[in-house]
Structure 1
Amino acid sequence: MNVHDTIARRVRELRDAKGWSLDALAERSKVSRSNISLIERGQSSPTAIVLDKLAMAFGVSLAALFEQTEQATIVEPSAHCSRHEQLQWTDPDSGYVRRNLSPPAWSPLQLVEVQFPPGKQVAYETGLRDADIHQQVWIMEGTMEVSVGNRQWRLEAGDCLAMKLDCPIVFRNTSRKSARYLVALSKPSVNESRSH
């Protein structure tokens, strides 16, 4: 299954779980109904900003839109994920590449690797969600500037920043070299995520 099919299925699953129509999701997310429809059919390459708006409407992290859950009720999800099975996605606006490192089995945390091109930025409107979601960003190569609310940090290789996903967050690479970093996200428990 390709990344667009995975996103399509997850958006439909999350919308169905909420009992929302396309119009209801469009109103809550501020993403057009036609755009959501294309995403759910796997016919659109949504940007990171659009995906974050959808995730915020659902009360989940952006990473939750990349989870592979289709066979969870049929087969026990695997606790292992080899590199060739890790879902990779490229933001069509900034060109940043994210790779889901975590296996399908449920865990209280999720790992994502990001390759961020030079001179680019992504600004998330991140707001309050149904569940508290925390993340840490650990820089492996290069430098990144990260703004969380009204605070800003310049992160270099080896630096780590913790944040809660409840305010606007901006990632920018102002250097001339690509940056690579690891994101570790907390996930709500299965019961907590199903209760919302």
Structure 2
Amino acid sequence: MRESLADPLEARLAARLAALRAEQGWSLDTLAERTGISRPTLSRLERGEASPTATMLGRLCTAYGRTLSRLMTEVEEAAPRLIPCAIQPCWTDPESGFRRRILSPPGGGLRGEMLEGTLPAGASVTYDTAPQPGLEHHLWMLEGRLELTVEGETHRLCPGDCLRYRLFGPSHFHCPAGGAPARYVLALCPP
């Protein structure tokens, strides 16, 4: 077990997760029941002693009624109109290697957001439910191949393909083994 997270972004994320739970007035036990994440793991996440996986963040965002991009912007400084590549926040899932770059965070009176996802070959990420029911998604494939299952229906995407959907339930992202990483842009629009 690590003593604490050296990455300032992860330290701010840990503090924000603790603050969100406090704002709801929930105990760790209550949050554990709502997310299916164990109480000890939640405690370590909030103290910055462990990094959350994409699945964990998905469950926490669902419990708090926000998208992952919104949560990430809450731990960043206010985003300017122009967001150079060098300052776009990136997060890597320690479990799957999934990398998420926030290209255009929500904020400044704008509701939509855009991110770049890169999923290594052979890796998968599952989200149990939508962070906000009815959240509109537009996924545009840039490189590699992606098998995306949305509420039980699997779509096989290749470079140039665009999948549009509203998410109400679970989703599963899988990059087939033996090929290039799946790289895509995802635009999110709240209902």
TM-score range for the pair, normalised by the shorter chain length: 0.7 to 0.9
Q: CA deviation at 1:8?
A: 1.5
Q: How many residues matched?
A: 183
Distance 1:99 1:127, change over 3 A: closer
Q: Percent identity?
A: 38
| SS at 1:101 equivalent | strand
| Distance in 1 separating the partners of 2:65 and 2:76 | 20
| Distance in 1 separating the partners of 2:74 and 2:68 | 13
TM-score, normalised by the number of residues in structure 2: 0.84
For residue 126 of structure 1, what is the aligned residue in structure 2?
A: 129
- Corresponding letter in the other structure for 1:90: T
| Distance in 2 separating the partners of 1:128 and 1:104 | 15
| SS at 1:78 equivalent | coil
Q: CA deviation at 1:114?
A: 0.9
What whole-Å deviation, never above 9, does each CA across 1:57-101 have from its counterpart, x for those lacking one? 1122232321235766xxxx5333222221111111111111111
TM-score, normalised by the number of residues in structure 1: 0.82
Distance 1:111 1:127, change over 3 A: closer
Unaligned runs of 5+ in 2: 1-6
What whole-Å deviation, never above 9, does each CA across 1:142-165 have from its counterpart, x for those lacking one? 111111112111111111112223
Question: What is the correspondence of 1:184-195 to structure 2 with a 5 Å cutoff?
Answer: 184-187=187-190
1:116 is the counterpart of 2:122? no
Q: CA deviation at 1:187?
A: 3.6
Are the counterparts in 2 of residues 68 and 104 from structure 1 also a CA contact under 8 Å? no
Runs of 4+ in structure 1 over 4 Å off: 69-72
RMSD: 2.2
For residue 34 of structure 2, what is the aligned residue in structure 1?
A: 28
1:86 is the counterpart of 2:92? no
Are the counterparts in 1 of residues 58 and 131 from structure 2 also a CA contact under 8 Å? no
What whole-Å deviation, never above 9, does each CA across 1:102-152 have from its counterpart, x for those lacking one? 2563321111111111111112111574x5422221101111111111211
| Distance in 1 separating the partners of 2:147 and 2:104 | 25
1:141 is the counterpart of 2:143? yes
